[in-house]
Amino acid sequence: MIQLATSFQQLILATAEEGSNAAEGHGTVPGITDGFLVEWAWLIVVVPLVAAFLIAFFGKKLPLQGWELAFGSIAFVGVYGTVLFFLNATEGIVYEGTINVADIGSFAIEWGWMVDGLSIMMYFLVGVVGMLVFMYAKGYMHGDIRYTWFFASFSLFAGGMLVLVSAPNLIQLIVGWELVGVSSYLLIGHYWEDFDNVDAANKAFMVNKVSDAALFIGAIIMAVSVGSFSFDAVLDVVVHGESGPLSQYAFWAGLAIFIGAMGKSAQFPLHVWLPDAMAGPTPVSALMHAATMVTAGVYLLGRLFPFYLDVSGLFAGDVRTIIIIVGGLTLFLTGLIAIVQDDIKKVLAYSTVSQLGYMIAAMGAGAYTAGLFHLFTHAFFKALLFLGAGSLIHAVHSNNMSDMGGLRKKMPITFWTFIIGTLALVGIFPFAGFFSKDEILASVKYAGGDGQGVANFILVLGLIGAFVTAFYMARAVALTFFGEYKGTAHPHESPKSMAYPLIGLAFFAITAGWVNIPGVYTGFTDWLATRVPLSGMGDHHAESFDWPVLIISTLLVVTALVVGWRVYGKDADTQMARDRIRIPVLWPLLENKYYIDDLYMSGIVRPIMGPFARAILWIDMHVVDGIVNGVGLGALGVAKGVQSFDSNVVDGLYNATGAGTGAAGTILRKSFTGRVQQYAAFSFVGVIVIVVLFIIF
């Protein structure tokens, strides 16, 4: 049964009315609540999943080896998502369709699709960014031995993310959560002939399983407390400030769910899997870091934002302190590691982890709009940077910047689009990152002034992080595009199928931030609020530029770019010699990634693989196998007893019966002579015997 979530719409309208007199916030009243476009939006989820299976089974028989199905499905999502995005921006949309799959006790297990500001933003990102990345992948993956399988897995990856962001309940969200997990495992380990790639895929899968366990626990606590897995049910309790089971266990539920988000969004210290995930093909890195897997944790915090914002003081407000600290440490510590990387994809990978830290810190500061706005802009410029890196790798046949240099003249499209992506990432006006990152910094400052003491410390980390971001990107650009070429290949510009997506993403990297300019146009704030109007809910979004923060951050960024160019711009005989700066103690610490991987290996992996594994093996061989062997021997003894009884008793009885019957037959056979007179005599004698017996008895 398909049903409209009318009860929650009433809640939305009521909340919007209550918040109309709030000091800040707008709260968009929804316009579209039914109709063909929203009722059939489930196709956004289903089409890529169907395409994945069709490619897996029939892709090799198609003219383009399955790419046409993959691109067609993601283009459908892109077009549909764009239409919904436009309608939500102009009219507002709130719709929830559900189909009851099963009932387990009092819990309804439902599959459904959300069509609201948050989910529409993700449909748009996954569709549009995915469409450009899939177009790029056609050229990048040309000649790959598992070309068809790649696009089957890639379509499943996009489809899994759409299952996640469309989910109206925790059960479906977890299904999508695990789909992107298993898809990432397949894609990171695509080149499985190299053991390092297999190891990277295993690492990503296992680290995420640790955090997933926490997510499951948090979801169970929340569902049992509310009596439903539905987000509507949870937010209904939160918005009305109802004291009850959810409020009693809110801290632990909120903390467990956040740990789940930490794994997917690679927050310190669960970030270790994401840089290693660069083992997968570059289009995977682009889509993973832009619009799919790693944004899932930020999306989840956004979906449950009122639960963490906790206006009533009854729910998970205390968890926000942990969230902002984790985000602040992540943005600062992982950004520093990017400075010492030689692999250009790992520079961008640590950059992604750092930028995710900004988004998480914003959520911890209570800035729903700022955190999701940076997710939105980051999707475009980070996809652009990764595809630019892939273009470089495609040209020089190496990931290492030590094999590059001087490529700006040989690859002008890649160079200029990479520069645009860099300026957007570091936050130079008027590029996209300028607006979103500075809104985060302003929101964190506001949180500090509003009584969240730790926010002031995180603001300092965020400002230093802006300097670090500009510094490592100045280094990457200098080592890659300037000086003399240091490699051995013959670099050339990428084909049109790879160049056009770079140009498309560059356009968004410039303009995506213009949809939320404080004091000028803040449409993005209203678009996101079409489900839970945050007016009256306490969400802070900037009404104007915070000029002190903006000026300080801009000065830091410009200074970092100048310093970075002064350090790395001058050429040398080798890139190693050109990489001049090396600070004792700090650089080895960064090169060894704070020894966290070593700590995990020595403290967790090796004990599990060593004494613990040997103990499990001994138990398996001596206890479990002993029990199994004992049961087997017992069963064998019973079988032999049954066989003996069957052979000597049952078979003996049947054989004796058969022999007796045969002997009787032999005797009786002699009486059947065929003589009628003899038969008549026997009959007469028989009658006489019967009469006599009758008389006697």
Instruction: Select from 125, 152, 165, 157 the least CA-distant residue to 67.
Output: 152
pLDDT number for residue 25 = 39
Question: pLDDT-derived band of residue 20, with 50, 70 and 90 as boundaries?
Answer: very low
Q: Please state, in angstroms and rounded to a whole number, the distance separating the CA atoms of residues 560 and 543.
A: 29
Is it the case that residue 242 has pLDDT exceeding 60? yes
pLDDT number for residue 1 = 36
pLDDT number for residue 451 = 67
Instruction: Select from 560, 327, 321 the least CA-distant residue to 461.
Output: 327
Could you tell me which residue, 1 or 273, shows the higher pLDDT?
273
- Which residues sit opposite 114 in a β-bridge? 96
Residue 677 C-beta-side C-alpha neighbours within 13 Å: 0
Give me the phi and psi of 516, to 5 degrees please.
-150, 75
pLDDT number for residue 540 = 64
Percent share of the chain, pLDDT over 90: 52
By the 10 Å C-beta count (0-12 exposed, 13-18 middle, 19+ buried), 549 is classed as buried
This prediction's pTM: 0.83
Residues in the chain: 697
78-92, 154-168, 181-195, 677-691: which has the minimum mean pLDDT? 677-691
Q: Please state, in angstroms and rounded to a whole number, the distance separating the CA atoms of residues 23 and 28.
A: 15
Element spanning 391, H or E: helix 368-396
pLDDT number for residue 9 = 38
Instruction: Select from 513, 481, 345 the least CA-distant residue to 413.
Output: 481
| Helical H segments across 277-367, by residue range | 282-290, 296-303, 305-309, 319-338, 344-364
Max avg pLDDT among 416-430, 435-449, 657-671? 416-430
By the 10 Å C-beta count (0-12 exposed, 13-18 middle, 19+ buried), 181 is classed as buried
Is it the case that residue 6 has pLDDT exceeding 60? no
Under a CB-based contact definition with an 8 Å cutoff, are residues 471 and 556 in contact?
no
pLDDT number for residue 265 = 93
Give me the mean pLDDT over the 675-686 stretch. 73
Strand ranges in 150-292 using DSSP code E only, listed in sequence order: none
Write the single-letter amino acid at 272.
V
How far, in Å, are 337, 556, 566 from residue 559 at the CA level?
20, 5, 10
Torsion of CA 661, 663, 666, 669, to 10 degrees: -50
Give me the phi and psi of 652, to 5 degrees please.
-65, -45
pLDDT number for residue 303 = 92
pLDDT number for residue 130 = 94
Could you tell me which residue, 2 or 435, shows the higher pLDDT?
435
Mean pLDDT of the chain: 86
pLDDT number for residue 536 = 41
Under a CB-based contact definition with an 8 Å cutoff, are residues 247 and 191 in contact?
no
Is it the case that residue 438 has pLDDT exceeding 50? yes
pLDDT number for residue 674 = 66
303-307, 355-359, 529-533: which has the minimum mean pLDDT? 529-533
pLDDT number for residue 18 = 38
How far, in Å, are 162, 322, 597 from residue 353 at the CA level?
22, 17, 16
How far, in Å, are 47, 219, 365, 411 from residue 378 at the CA level?
26, 28, 19, 24
**pLDDT of 316-349, one tens digit each?**
889 999 999 999 999 999 999 999 999 999 999 9
Under a CB-based contact definition with an 8 Å cutoff, are residues 250 and 316 in contact?
yes
**pLDDT of 35-82, one tens digit each?**
889 999 999 999 999 999 999 999 899 999 999 999 999 999 999 999
Under a CB-based contact definition with an 8 Å cutoff, are residues 480 and 344 in contact?
yes
Is it the case that residue 648 has pLDDT exceeding 90? no
pLDDT number for residue 531 = 61
45-59, 426-440, 635-649: which has the minimum mean pLDDT? 635-649
pLDDT number for residue 7 = 36
pLDDT number for residue 88 = 92
Residue 594 CB contacts under 8 Å (≥ 6 apart), including other chains: 333, 337
**pLDDT of 169-189, one tens digit each?**
999 999 999 999 999 999 998
pLDDT number for residue 665 = 75
Give me the mean pLDDT over the 270-295 stretch. 89
pLDDT number for residue 639 = 84
Is it the case that residue 684 has pLDDT exceeding 80? no
By the 10 Å C-beta count (0-12 exposed, 13-18 middle, 19+ buried), 634 is classed as exposed
Give me the mean pLDDT over the 279-301 stretch. 90
Rounded CA Rg of the chain: 35
Torsion of CA 392, 396, 397, 398, to 10 degrees: -70
**pLDDT of 411-421, one tens digit each?**
999 999 999 99
pLDDT number for residue 659 = 79
Q: Please state, in angstroms and rounded to a whole number, the distance separating the CA atoms of residues 56 and 77.
A: 20
Give me the phi and psi of 99, to 5 degrees please.
-125, 125
Residue 184 structure tokens: 């990432």
**pLDDT of 346-398, one tens digit each?**
999 999 999 999 999 999 998 888 999 999 999 999 999 999 999 999 999 99
**pLDDT of 607-622, one tens digit each?**
777 677 777 777 888 8
Under a CB-based contact definition with an 8 Å cutoff, are residues 138 and 71 in contact?
yes
Under a CB-based contact definition with an 8 Å cutoff, are residues 371 and 334 in contact?
no
Is it the case that residue 535 has pLDDT exceeding 60? no
Could you tell me which residue, 146 or 652, shows the higher pLDDT?
146
Could you tell me which residue, 135 or 604, shows the higher pLDDT?
135
pLDDT number for residue 22 = 34
Question: pLDDT-derived band of residue 194, with 50, 70 and 90 as boundaries?
Answer: confident
Is it the case that residue 2 has pLDDT exceeding 50? no
